Amino acid sequence: MTKIIYTPQLDYNNVLIRPKRSTLSSRSEINLERTINFKNGGQWHGVPFISANMDTTGTYEVYKVLSQFKIITAMHKFYTVDDYMNMKSMDKNLFMVSTGISDTDFLNLKNILSKIDCNWICIDIANGYINKFVDFCKKVRTEFPDKIIVAGNVATREMVEELILNGGVDIVKVGIGPGSACSTRIKTGVGVPQLSAVMECADAAHGVGGHIIADGGITCPGDAAKAFGGGADFVMLGGQFAGHDENPGEKIEKDGKQFKVFYGMSSKKAQTAHYGKMDKYRASEGRELTIPYKGPLINTVEDFLGGLRSTCTYIGAHKIKDIPKCTTFGLVSQQVNTHFVK
Q: Return the active site residues.
A: 182
DSSP string over 297-322: HHHHHHHHHHHHHHHHHHHT-SBGGG
Give dist(CA 66, CA 64) in Å, integer. Answer: 6
Give dist(CA 118, CA 325) in Å, integer. Answer: 32
Of the candidates 76, 160, 143, which has an alpha carbon nearest to the alpha carbon of residue 103?
143
- Other residues' Cβ atoms within 10 Å of the Cβ of residue 179: 25
Contacts 24+ apart (CB under 8 A), 101-104: 101/125, 101/132, 101/133, 101/136
Give dist(CA 332, CA 146) in Å, integer. Answer: 44
Q: Which helix (H) or strand (E) holds 214?
A: strand 211-215
Give dist(CA 294, CA 57) in Å, integer. Answer: 14
Please count the CA atoms within 13 angstroms of the CA of 278 that sit on its side-chain side.
12
